[in-house]
Structure formats: structure tokens, C-alpha cells
Amino acid sequence: MIAKFDSLFAGHVDMDDVGYAGAAVNDRSFSDEHLTTVFDKAEIIATTLDRLGYDTFWMAEHHFQPEGYECIPNLLMLQVHLAHLTKNIKLGCAFNIAPMWHPLRLAEDYATADILTGGRVIFGVGRGYHTREVETFGNPLLDQTANRELFEEQVDIIFKAFNERSFSHHGKYYDIPPQIPYRGYELSEITMVPRPRNLPVECWQPIQGGTQRALDFMAKHGIKGIIGGGVAEGGVMDATMEDYRAALVRAGRPDAQLGEDLSVGFHFFLSETVEKGIKESAKFYEENVKMFGPLRLHRGLSEQQMVDIADPRRAPSAGLPTLDEAVNNGAVLCGPPDRIIEQLNAVAERYPGLDRVGVSHPVGTPQSVILEQLEWFAKEVIPAFKGKVEVTGPSD
């Protein structure tokens, strides 16, 4: 039964000239001053979500983006700050990109945030998808096999650091601790200080390809999965639901239900009619595809379309995905509240173990629209699933 409603903010600044015919992604370059408005935007979204009774505010870690789409480089630092401005909402890492960290530094920083926020930060890990980011930090992404190997070893280390008072690890990429003399003895184990106060650590990971290896790795560590709602098309992916449950069964959970330990993310736009909603938000949807399509995070684009999408003169007639299609196939929720309630009820019925969904907006959506839509959703959709939402304070 769906009982928790989250929202994701990838970290985009407000921008003009969006959509397939708008400014090319690679031509965007904002001033330092405008790029830092992402933090004010995160603050107002966080306090709005907190006031409206949403469960978790998820944000994304990214680097080196003067184009303005994903501008938050350190989630844990920002989330400790946001915890001081809010009362109840949890703050989710979607996601800390492990190949851009030393695993022990990431584990230490999370443990510190867990303690300082009283357990309100939710941990999350990912492998990354921007070559400019991961490769610049000196680790592989173009070599997907090496990236997967590195990521898995890093996550193994992180969970050892969380769960074991003292530990060692000697693998392909890390030798922890190195066998060296220290204060009169030979170092053979190490203790992370501090360790998280709240154990076991709740951890989430995005599911993109959903290979058996990836899902079995998640199940082994008890890592929960987020499907869609950010860079991907969004909505329910039936095969992934089945495959994740199968991984839980292989890990010794034969009674796991479809949807258990998963969250499904949707982009949404409330409007009096579906047609009006599509008309008002189509350019935001297109900007999202324009950003993430060439990174191969939007399924179904041909090689030629990934070339055409970068040219505002050719993109509008290149047969690219449309919001109409996404709304018709259920990847995007659009229209009046009753229609969206009906769609979510259908998802809940099909996946009885699903208790959490995410509702958010494409990159390029202005702050004013995001806030208005989150308020409307909280007042007219969420109460159908979890009773009347008590809204306090000013709406802006």
C-alpha cells in the first residue's frame, strides 16, 4: 500500500528557452552567481516539502556543470544544513556516486551526517553516468566493467565500515589498512570513527539496466531500489519489479512481495485537463530528454536522434519522444487530481509490496511551478492515500 510520498530535485537552476527548439544543452553556461541559486532553491523546496508532510526530499550529487542542470556537488554537507531548516522531512542521497569518493571518506561523512541530523539523512549509492565527472576524478566510467568492479568493492568496504567495529579489506582496488607499523604494533585492522548511530544503515540505489548481477548485489547488502523518476523515463517497469523480487528470493526472502523495498518515481504535472497539462509542461519534459538522452539514460533513442537532439533547428522534427506519449504510457502523471489518484491506485494494486513513490519535475521546470505543483499534489492527491495532510505556515 502506498503510504510514503517523496520528491526528487536533481539540482537545476531556473533557465529560459527550454524545450527541443530551445537553447542547446552544450551552449548553456551560467554565471557563478546564478549557479549558486541552486542552494536557495533547495532550501525553499525542502521547507515546502517539510510543511506539506512529504516523507523524503531526495537530491543528486553532480560536478562540473556550468550548463546548470545538476549543480549540487556535496549532498551530505547540504543535507546537514537543510536539517537545521526543517523539522520532520528526511533527506535522501540520490545518489552519492561512489567512484568519485574514497569509500572510507564517504562512509565517515555519512556517519557524521547521521549523527548530526538525528538519523534524518538516508544513504544512497550510484555508479555515475557522466564521463566528465567520474573520469575527471580519476576513476573509470567508459570502461563499464571496471566501473562495476570498483563500485562493488567500494560498497563492500562501506558496509564493512558501517557494520563492523574493526575490519580489514584487501581487494583489487583497495588495501585497507596497509600492513605498516603503527605506535609499536603491526597494523592489521582499522576502526571507522564515527560509525553511524542508526544501524543497519538504510541504503538506496538507482535501477537502470537491472542486470541479475546488479540486483543480486543489492539484495546481498539489503540495498533498496529506485526506479525512474529522475533521468530515466519514470513510471513502473514491470520486468524490473519482477527481477528485483526474484533477487530478494535468491537472497533468502521467499515471502517478498512485488514492489517490496522499491520506490517508483514519476514526473507529474497537475492541471484541470490532461490536454492543458501537456500544453503547459511539454517544454520541461523535452528539456529533460534533451539533457539526458545523449547520455543514454532515455531508452529508445536512435544514434541519429542523439545527434539531432543537440541541434535546436533539427530536434523539433526529429521524431523525438513526446510528453503525449509519456502520459499515455503512464511514465508521466498528468491531468486532474482524480486521474492521478486512479493511476497510483492501479500501481498499488498491481504491486502490493510497494509503499513509496516519488513525484518530481523535469530539469528546466521553474521553481515557482515546482512549488505550486507540490502544494497542489499534497492537498488533493496525497490525502487519498494517507489521510488529510495538515499544511502549516505560508504557501510560499
Q: How many angstroms separate the first and last alpha carbons of the chain? A: 31
Give the residues across from 225 on adjacent strands: 205, 262
C-alpha cell at 373: 505543483
Q: Residue 34: which residues within 8 A CB-CB, separation 6 or more?
A: 13, 68
Which whole-number Å values give the CA distances from 190 to 19, 165, 186, 390, in the listed order? 52, 8, 11, 47
Name the nearest CA neighbour of 57 among 81, 93, 110. Answer: 93
The pair phi, psi for residue 262, each rounded to 5°, is -125, 155
Cα(283)–Cα(21) distance, rounded to whole angstroms?
9
Residue 322 and residue 305: Cα distance in Å, rounded? Answer: 13
- Predicted confidence pLDDT, tens digits, the chain (396 residues): 999 999 999 999 999 999 999 999 999 999 999 999 999 999 999 999 999 999 999 999 999 999 999 999 999 999 999 999 999 999 999 999 999 999 999 999 999 999 999 999 999 999 999 999 999 999 999 999 999 999 999 999 999 999 999 999 999 999 999 999 999 999 999 999 999 999 999 999 999 888 999 999 999 999 999 998 654 555 667 889 999 999 999 999 999 999 999 999 999 999 999 999 999 999 999 999 999 988 877 777 899 999 999 999 999 999 999 999 999 989 999 999 999 999 999 999 999 999 999 999 999 999 999 999 999 999 999 999 976 445 555 554
How many C-alpha atoms does 114 have within 13 Å on its Cβ side?
21
Q: Which residues of 211-226 are buried (b: 16+ CB within 10 A; e: fewer)?
A: eeebbebbbbbebbbb
**Distance from C-alpha of 95 to C-alpha of 107, rounded to nearest angstrom:** 13
Three-state secondary structure call for residue 73: coil
> What was the pLDDT predicted at 396?
45
The cell for 64 is 562540473
Count of C-beta atoms within a 10 Å radius of residue 31 = 10
pTM of the model: 0.95
The answer for 330, left when phi > 0, alpha when psi is -120 to 50, beta otherwise, is: left
Domains of the chain with CATH codes: 4-94+207-386 (3.20.20.30)
Is residue 396 classed exposed, middle or buried when 0-12, 13-18 and 19+ CB atoms within 10 A define those classes? exposed
DSSP annotation of 314 reads: T
Helix ranges, the chain (H)? 32-35, 37-52, 75-85, 103-116, 131-134, 144-163, 212-221, 238-250, 274-292, 303-308, 323-328, 337-350, 367-380, 383-386
CA distance 217 to 212: 8
pLDDT digits (tens, 9 = 90+) for 307-354: 999 999 999 999 999 999 999 989 999 999 999 999 999 999 999 999
Reference 9, options 56, 50, 53; nearest CA is 56
Query: Residue 170, SS3?
Result: strand
If you ran DSSP here, which 8-state letter would residue 390 be given? P
CB proximity list for 273: less than 8 A, separation 6 or greater: 335, 336
The grid coordinates of residue 172 equal 583489487
- How far is residue 21 from each of residues 49, 65, 127, 282, measured CA to CA in Å? 32, 21, 32, 12
Average pLDDT of the chain? 94
Q: Which three cell numbers stand for residue 31?
A: 554565471
pLDDT for 229 equals 62
Distance CA 152, CA 194 (A): 23
Look at residues 96, 155, 159, 84 and name the one whose alpha carbon lies nearest to residue 120: 84
Q: How many beta carbons lie within 10 A of that of residue 380, not counting itself?
A: 16
What's the chain's Rg over C-alpha atoms? 21
